[in-house]
A and B are shown apart, each in its own frame.
Chain A
Amino acid sequence: MTYIPISPTEREAMLAAIGVKKVEDLFKDVPAKHRFPKLDLPPALTEMEAAASLEGWASGNETTRDLVSFLGAGAYNHYIPAAVDHILRRGEFYTAYTPYQPEISQGTLQAIFEYQSLVAALTGMEVSNASHYDGATAVAESVNLAYANFRGKRTKVVISPTVHPQYRATLRTYTQGMGLELAGDDSQADLEAGPEAIASLVDDNTALVVVQYPDFFGRIHDYTQLVVTAHARGALVCVAANPTALALLKTPGAMGADIVVGEGQPLGIPLSFGGPYLGFFTTRKQYIHKMAGRLVGETVDNRGQRAYVLTLTAREQHIKRERATSNICTNQGLMALASAVYLALLGQAGLRQVAELCYHKAHYAAERLGKIPGFGLCFSSPYFHEFSLCCPRPVEEVNAHLLEHGILGGYDLGRDYPALKDHMLLAFTEMNSRDEIDYLVEVLSEVSHD
């Protein structure tokens, strides 16, 4: 569609219709001296100069293309097949918005439907919505669902301290003013304690229990028993999961979770300095009327042909208004498409292969890193592709040394967990070759010798 700005004739007609002589008259309430304030701007640049200047600033950034990266902590450096970007940039898809007349855009709806189907299969759940902004907001929406499910009569949410600190911070922001008690949200809690510690906080006033899988430290817990305990108290359970790990591990759906959410970035979305990302959100059929966001369904048209619709729209925010579960229904259409293309390209076997590579590389690295004098693995639990490493010196110093050697080091856990001062969280993906891991070991060995 071409955007045509108004012509002078149309402008005249509009001014005449509202009884104003010229456009300036519309601003007569603004004192003349404030209408065109002098801005202290440098001389204008040509397009060529502006591009060179912007490129100069951008080149100051060091990216995962320039460095060997072992940084994860919620955003992971995976290979993205070229076809993902190719399909994403097609004009028919290149909008982040669900169209206002959705059923006229069958291709967009089909893409979302495929995305929903893939995510539901991956998580082992019955229904997926069309997505949220990111993993953190998807976690927050799980609380909205549970709160609405109990019609505000249960006012406690139990969240594990091993849920990503940023997800917990987002949850605190979202739930301000709702009168909810957040239990377990304590970065000083015993981080060795398993799911039983969380289970002990669940009572008859608990609406939802939120845990992460693998947890923020990469550890794998089976939450089956926690779900049983929570359900015995009538509470729902939300598992925030890493989608790559789900190709390899027992699904949260199989553990009995009521809601499974997560950060979809690992599924074909670039790191991009933190966004745009993708929040996936899945649940069981019995909760779809309380689920935020849009839902695309498959049906047949009046000629009996397969067609896609926005289904159950009566529960949506634009109809239910203040009674809707959530008033943030924007989805990440383009990012959801990217992850659908990624999942379709890799298939079940391909994604499992990615997950296995991540797992084995991390375990190879752990074995070698744990042997460097002064360093040590911090937890004994099974882990996926990320683990915490205890360092002989502050993480900031270790990372500065690594950066000098072209390595982007791990996440400084002391920033969020006082007990984990001098601990870094290292992540490994299929992008890290064995040589790179050996190089990391070599450079870290220098730290221990200093």
Chain B
Amino acid sequence: MNIPSNLKFTQSDEWFNAADGSMGLSDYAQGQLSDIVFVEILVSAGDVIKAGAPIASVESVKAAAEIYAAASGTVKAINDGLADKPEVLNSDPYGAGWMVKVDGGDASGLMDAAAYEKYCEERSH
């Protein structure tokens, strides 16, 4: 399982990169969902979002999930390309699979990579 050390994580399996304000779905989560066939970003640039509010809706071949904001802030960009290539959420969840970028995101209260790895391991037992 890929858990980059520069990212912070939520209990609902989103990641947040404090360096550029980007957020998305973790590698663990994409593996649980299996092949993702549909993504819809629910926010637009300029929206003020709160941590924990839905930012995207994802459908895989076997499940549907809501993705929540890992941090509060003002949306500065959304990844429009995902709608046409939802499979990058499976292949590159931390890179091309980013969903939303915010300004002013605060990572406090999120898990670091080590804590998140432990959290994922506990759940896979």
Contact = CB atoms under 8 A, between A and B. Distances in A.
A265 to B, nearest CB: 33
A96 interface: no
Interface in A307-339: 312, 314-315, 319-320, 323
Given A312-B37, A314-B60, A314-B62, 6 more contacts: A314-B37, A314-B38, A314-B63, A314-B64, A319-B63, A319-B64
B38 A289 contact: yes
B33 to A, nearest CB: 9
Interface residues of A, number: 8
A253 to B, nearest CB: 23
22 contacts: A151-B42, A289-B38, A289-B59, A312-B37, A312-B38, A312-B59, A314-B37, A314-B38, A314-B59, A314-B60, A314-B61, A314-B62, A314-B63, A314-B64, A315-B38, A315-B59, A315-B64, A319-B63, A319-B64, A320-B64, A323-B57, A323-B64
Interface of B: 37-38, 40, 42, 57, 59-64, 66
A411 B38 CA distance: 47
A314 B34 CA distance: 12
Interface of A: 151, 289, 312, 314-315, 319-320, 323
Contacts of B64: 314-315, 319-320, 323
Nearest to A319: B64
Contacts of A319: 63-64
A319 B61 CA distance: 11
Nearest to B54: A323
Contacts of A312: 37-38, 59
A315 B63 CA distance: 8
Question: Which of A312, A314, A320 has the largest number of chain B CB atoms within 10 A?
Answer: A314
Given A312-B59, A314-B61, A323-B57, A289 B40 contact: yes
Contacts of B40: 289
A314 B86 CA distance: 14
5 nearest CB pairs, A to B: A314-B59, A314-B64, A320-B64, A319-B64, A289-B38
